[in-house]
Amino acid sequence: MNKALIIIDMQNDFLPGGSLAVPGGDEIIPVINQLSKEFNLVVATQDWHPQNHGSFASNHDNKKVFEMGELNGLPQMMWPDHCVQGTFGAEFHKDIQMNHVETIFRKGMNPKIDSYSGFFDNGHQKSTGLAGFLLEKKVEEIHFCGLAADYCVYFSIKDALELGFKTVLIDNATRPIDAENYRNQKHELEKMQNFSLVSF
């Protein structure tokens, strides 16, 4: 069975010192680097927001960071500015070994809609092309790692399952923003067909 490793958003802004740092995000870097050597196909996703992105609290007069709002008719968490195109925060962390990564799929470029999943925007209006790429490579099973567990990793997994891939979450190669939320999501995912939770 053809397998792929997808590394989700290991960018400076999601790591300690970044504008949207995930607690303990740097702890998974050695695990991901080791994992990358185990797969023939490794793909990365990259949050790549324009400065005027509608998910940034700073682009709204009356919104605070981490407040729920609405964007284009969809519920939207208001985030601090992060992973702005061309900035240091959007770059992959220097300790992530990118030499095994075959290609990078960027997301979150449309200022009118957020994109947590590596496959689609949050409204499923536009594909990133990741699914087509994996199908062309005859991938049947996808292993996920990266940040943040309860947002971009979780929604990527949901889409992968919906698309019919066997899907594996590597629990010790991800970290959440909200640990309780992540626990609930894992319980939900474990009830789904074609999903498994492992540690490397």
Q: Which tens digits make up the pLDDT trace of 105-131? A: 999 999 999 999 999 999 999 999 999
**What span, in angstroms and rounded, lies between the C-alpha atoms of 185 and 43?**
23
The catalytic position among 47, 81, 107, 114 is 107
12 burial class (0-12, 13-18, 19+ CB within 10 angstroms)?
buried
pTM: 0.97
The reply to whether 13 belongs to the active site is no
pLDDT tens digits, one per residue of 151-176: 999 999 999 999 999 999 999 999 99
Q: Where are the beta strands (DSSP E) in the chain?
A: 3-8, 42-47, 68-71, 74-77, 101-107, 141-147, 166-175, 195-198
DSSP 8-state secondary structure symbol assigned to residue 189: H
Confidence of residue 1 (pLDDT cuts 50, 70, 90): confident
Examine the residue annotation and report whether 9 is marked as an active-site residue of this protein: yes
Q: Per the residue annotation, which of 81, 152, 158, 159 is the catalytic one?
A: 152
Residue 83: active-site member: no
Residues 7-17: pLDDT tens digits?
999 999 999 99
Q: What is the mean pLDDT of the chain?
A: 97
- Calpha distance 199→51 (Å, rounded): 37
Q: In the chain, count of helices (H) and strands (E)?
A: 4, 8
